[in-house]
């Protein structure tokens, strides 16, 4: 009975382990990782909510352009001795803005600008998220490749150490040769442990960006391909994709409009009203916003109770019969050069924005050229360090063979000591470190160029 229970428990345990492992293992491709980051990353989602809030605020500012409907009720009562007078009046109010001309109202302009800025920041958050995923992808792939290569070296060193121990036991080589091999193996194992910890941290960061299960085991598909782009194409991409230039272009367009709108300060102050019974058509000027609004208003009485005309509450007629027209015009002749000076202010700001746009364009061209050349430099450095690593490895192995087997007589390697072996070992270890770092620098330079181009395709 106990054996059956134990067997069942073991079966259930391994079934749970298999199911959990299957649930946590996630195979990712670069495009899928980027999609998940854009969907789940908190920074991107916060920027999206800011944009939604700005759009809602814009709709609030535009609500005045939609029909306005309401009901106004009025109740009054007076008692004088035995006379108790009551009054009821209810009107429907329906109005609509027929047209508006003049400057764009300040509130609406601010809401439109908030939406435009929020759209740019949303795009910036998405681009930053994509570049962060790509940088992590480079790091993780290179870490995996370095782990594989160092594991292969570790296996070779373990075999070498086994042979070295056998030779030392047979008194064929000195103890220092064995220690040198053990030191080399320890260096590789230390590097592997550091890489494994680095892989764990980078993977956790990638999981955070993509919104995956924190306990998931992520397996990346393959390295990102190299970008085949010329310097001229890179510059054009940067100028096309630049969010800073896009923001400045929007600022320039808005500033051109603000400069043109100063002319409305010279427009006559005009107000008018036409009424036929309960239907009104109004033309009013808003001094603060420099706008003229043409509005239609209809306010019929829908519930009324007649009052005594001698009542103190009788202040307005109950019904409006006939028609009425009112017109007022005020023409400004001289405003102390206020409009002229306002226009000078707006034009100066416009010229400043245009100069800033030109300056930003030049800076982007230089930045792309600098980063493009940095990629070439990093690639050449990586190729040189790869050759250096190969030379250091061959040099170390040759010295080891000469010291292990006295009968070897290789030109240029006579009179070697174990100090030469230790130095060669240190040079090989350093060459490994420099080469792997050169590969990371090359990947980082490529991604930096992409960030400068703001290229996420």
- The predicted-structure confidence for 403-455, as pLDDT tens digits, reads as follows 766 545 555 555 666 677 778 878 888 898 999 999 999 999 999 999 999 99
Encoded tokens for 383: 């190729």
**Whole-number pLDDT of residue 212:** 87
**Whole-number pLDDT of residue 17:** 40
Percent of the chain with pLDDT over 70: 84
**Whole-number pLDDT of residue 271:** 85
**Whole-number pLDDT of residue 171:** 61
Greater confidence (391 vs 2) lies with: 391
Task: Please say whether the beta carbons of 456 and 211 come within 8 A.
Answer: no
Work out whether strand 83-102 and strand 68-80 pair parallel, antiparallel, or are unpaired. Answer: antiparallel
**Whole-number pLDDT of residue 10:** 46
pLDDT reading at 402 higher than 70: yes
DSSP structure string for 133-175: HHHHHHHHHHHHHHHHHHHHHHHHHHHHHHHHHHHHHTTSS-H
Average pLDDT, the chain: 84
Encoded tokens for 87: 């009054």
Specify the 3-state DSSP secondary structure of 286: strand
pLDDT reading at 314 higher than 70: no
Q: What is the pTM assigned to this prediction?
A: 0.81
Greater confidence (320 vs 5) lies with: 320
Q: Distance between the two ends of the chain, CA-based, in angstroms?
A: 63
Work out whether strand 25-28 and strand 217-220 pair parallel, antiparallel, or are unpaired. Answer: parallel
Greater confidence (21 vs 270) lies with: 270
**Whole-number pLDDT of residue 172:** 55
Report which DSSP code applies to 318: S
pLDDT digits (tens, 9 = 90+) for 352-380: 999 999 999 999 999 999 999 999 999 99
Q: Please name which of 392, 144, 366 lies closest in space to residue 239, comparing C-alpha atoms.
A: 366
pLDDT digits (tens, 9 = 90+) for 168-208: 666 655 666 667 777 878 888 898 999 999 999 999 999 99
Q: How far apart are CA 112 and CA 104, in angstroms?
A: 10
Bridge partners (DSSP) listed for residue 283: 272, 294
Could you tell me the pLDDT band of residue 14, with boundaries at 50, 70 and 90? very low
Place of tokens 């220690």: 179
**Whole-number pLDDT of residue 359:** 97
Task: Please say whether the beta carbons of 320 and 274 come within 8 A.
Answer: no
**Whole-number pLDDT of residue 258:** 93
Percent of the chain with pLDDT over 90: 43
Q: How many CA atoms lie within 13 A of 94 on its CB side?
A: 7
419-426 contacts: CB < 8 A, separation 24 or more?
421/176, 421/177, 421/180, 421/396, 422/180, 422/183, 424/392, 424/395, 424/396, 424/399, 425/180, 425/183, 425/184, 425/187, 425/396
**Whole-number pLDDT of residue 184:** 78
pLDDT digits (tens, 9 = 90+) for 78-130: 777 777 677 788 888 899 988 888 888 888 999 999 999 999 999 999 999 99
Cβ partners under 8 Å of residue 99, min gap 6: 293, 294
- What average pLDDT does range 20-25 have in this prediction? 54
Q: How far apart are CA 110 and CA 104, in angstroms?
A: 10
pLDDT reading at 383 higher than 80: yes
Query: What are the angstrom distances between the C-alpha of 32 and each of 23, 26, 40, 133, 418?
Result: 18, 11, 12, 11, 53
Greater confidence (403 vs 1) lies with: 403
pLDDT reading at 329 higher than 50: yes
pLDDT reading at 13 higher than 50: no
Q: Please name which of 137, 277, 267 lies closest in space to residue 205, comparing C-alpha atoms.
A: 137
Q: How far apart are CA 273 and CA 295, in angstroms?
A: 10
Least confident of 6-10, 283-287, 408-412: 6-10
Q: Please name which of 144, 153, 171 lies closest in space to residue 393, comparing C-alpha atoms.
A: 153
Radius of gyration for the alpha carbons in the chain, expressed in angstroms and rounded: 40
Could you tell me the pLDDT band of residue 165, with boundaries at 50, 70 and 90? confident
**Whole-number pLDDT of residue 286:** 74
Cβ partners under 8 Å of residue 309, min gap 6: none
Helices (H), 405-455: 418-453
Cβ partners under 8 Å of residue 234, min gap 6: 368, 372, 449, 453
pLDDT reading at 139 higher than 70: yes
Least confident of 42-51, 129-138, 291-300, 397-406: 397-406
CATH numbers and ranges of domains, the chain: 229-266+338-457 (1.20.1600.10)
């Amino acid at each position: 009975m106990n054996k059956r229970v134990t067997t069942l428990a073991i079966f259930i345990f391994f079934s749970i382990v298999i199911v959990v492992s299957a649930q946590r293992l996630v195979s990712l491709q670069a495009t899928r990782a980027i999609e998940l980051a854009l969907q789940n990353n908190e920074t991107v989602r916060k920027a999206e909510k800011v944009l939604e809030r700005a759009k809602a605020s814009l709709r609030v500012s535009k609500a005045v352009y939609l029909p306005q409907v309401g009901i106004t009720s009025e109740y009054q009562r007076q008692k004088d001795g035995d006379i108790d007078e009551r009054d009821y009046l209810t009107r429907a109010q329906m109005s609509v803005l027929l047209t508006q001309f003049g400057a764009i109202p300040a509130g609406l302009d601010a809401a439109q600008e908030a939406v435009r800025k929020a759209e740019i920041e949303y795009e910036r958050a998405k681009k930053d998220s994509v570049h962060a995923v790509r940088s992590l992808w480079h790091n993780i792939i290179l870490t995996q490749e370095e782990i594989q290569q160092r594991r292969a070296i570790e296996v070779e060193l373990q075999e070498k150490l086994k042979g070295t121990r056998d030779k030392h036991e047979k008194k064929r080589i000195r103890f220092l040769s064995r220690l040198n091999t053990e030191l080399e193996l320890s260096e590789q194992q230390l590097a592997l442990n550091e890489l494994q910890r680095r892989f764990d941290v980078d993977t956790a960061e990638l999981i955070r960006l993509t919104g995956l299960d924190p306990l998931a085991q992520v397996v990346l598909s393959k390295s990102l391909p190299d970008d085949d782009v010329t310097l001229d194409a890179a510059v054009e991409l940067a100028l096309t994709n630049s969010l800073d230039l896009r923001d400045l272009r929007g600022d320039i367009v808005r500033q051109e409009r603000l400069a043109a709108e100063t002319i409305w300060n010279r427009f006559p102050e005009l107000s008018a009203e036409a009424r036929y019974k309960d239907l009104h058509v109004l033309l009013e000027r808003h001094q603060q916003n420099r706008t003229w609004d043409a509005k239609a208003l209809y306010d019929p009485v829908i519930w009324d109770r007649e009052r005594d005309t001698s009542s103190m509450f009788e202040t307005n007629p109950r019904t409006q019969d006939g028609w009425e027209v009112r017109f007022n015009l005020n023409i400004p002749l001289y405003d102390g050069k206020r409009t002229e000076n306002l226009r000078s202010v707006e034009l100066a700001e416009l010229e400043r924005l245009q100069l800033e746009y030109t300056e930003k364009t030049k800076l982007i061209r230089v930045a792309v050229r600098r980063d493009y050349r940095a990629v070439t430099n990093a690639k050449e450095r990586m190729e040189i360090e790869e050759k250096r690593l190969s030379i250091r490895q061959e040099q170390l192995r040759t010295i080891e063979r000469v010291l292990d087997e006295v009968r070897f007589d290789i030109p240029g390697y006579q009179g070697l000591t174990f100090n030469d072996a230790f130095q060669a070992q240190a040079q090989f270890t350093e060459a490994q470190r420099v080469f792997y770092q050169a590969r990371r620098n090359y990947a980082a330079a490529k991604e930096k160029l992409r960030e400068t181009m703001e290229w996420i395709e």
